[in-house]
Homo-oligomer: A and B are copies of this chain.
Amino acid sequence: MSRMSDQQEEICAEAAFDGSGLKAVLVNATLKPPGQDSHTDTLLEVVAEIFSRSKVAVDRLRLSGHLLAPGVYPDMTDHGWERDDWPKISDRVLEADILVLGTPIWLGEKSSLAAAFIEKLYAHSGQTNDKGQYRFYGKVGGCVVTGNEDGIKAVASSCLYAMSHVGYTIPPQADCGWIGEAGPGPSYGDEKEDGSGRVGFDNVFTQRNTTFMAFNLMHMAKMLKDNGGIPAIGNVRTEWDDGSKPGWPNPEYRIDD
């Protein structure tokens, strides 16, 4: 069964967007263990389908199935932890042109797994691409946020800023989500109490924003790819002796060696 509405089907068909060659990774930072239903997954599904119809390769990653060792180095087994699954999965993120971070809202904020994931992006922020720019230059980022009330904008602001700060380009309206009225209530994709369908599926505003985000991510990723990324002029790290050092604890000031 498609998660997309008729209108989304139509828009995708009409667009006939050709995203061949583009890769997207959809990261789900739900706190639920692998196998359990996730409301965030249900909305990410729409994004995945829009991408697939547009020939963008889609990789989906649920963080809770992996142990990300605390710390802001690419491999924390070099820094005192016995186990770190991040090195095994980091390439899935580092090689994607498009990153979509999906997260639930708890107490008005992104999940602790979303926070851990951002620490891992940060861990790579001392690395550079072959033009001497920061590693994530030329890639684009967006986010999907679900909760049963309150917090889409605060969470999106935090996630998108982190991506931008490490080098991602953020296209217009790169966030989408669903929340309900203040107080107890269902979450995205739950059966409605009156049996008339799934919560949020018919929220035109949520579905519109999800569509806008998905297409803007594809447009911008394609434009960047077609133009060879961001020109390496005025933004090359190696031209600056800015006090950064190999091995520095803070990745922003670390030179990868």
Contacts and interface: CB of A to CB of B under 8 A. Distances in A.
Interface of A: 7, 11-12, 15, 17, 31-33, 35-36, 50, 64, 70-72, 80-81, 106-113, 115-116, 118-119, 122, 133-134, 136-137, 148-154, 156-158, 160-162, 164-175, 177-185, 187, 200, 203-206, 208, 211-212, 214-216, 218-220, 223-224, 227, 230-231, 233-235, 239-245, 248-250, 252-253
B169 A172 contact: yes
**Identical chains in the assembly:** 4
A160 B162 CA distance: 11
Contact of A183 (B119, B156, B170, B203): B203
Contact of A107 (B17, B113, B165): B165
A152 B133 CA distance: 22
Given A15-B233, A153-B161, A215-B235, 5 more contacts: A150-B150, A169-B220, A180-B181, A184-B252, A211-B235
5 contacts: A31-B119, A109-B118, A133-B172, A182-B206, A214-B234
A97 B241 CA distance: 31
Contact of A234 (B154, B215, B233): B215
Nearest to A153: B108
Given A173-B235, A219-B233, A112 B122 contact: no
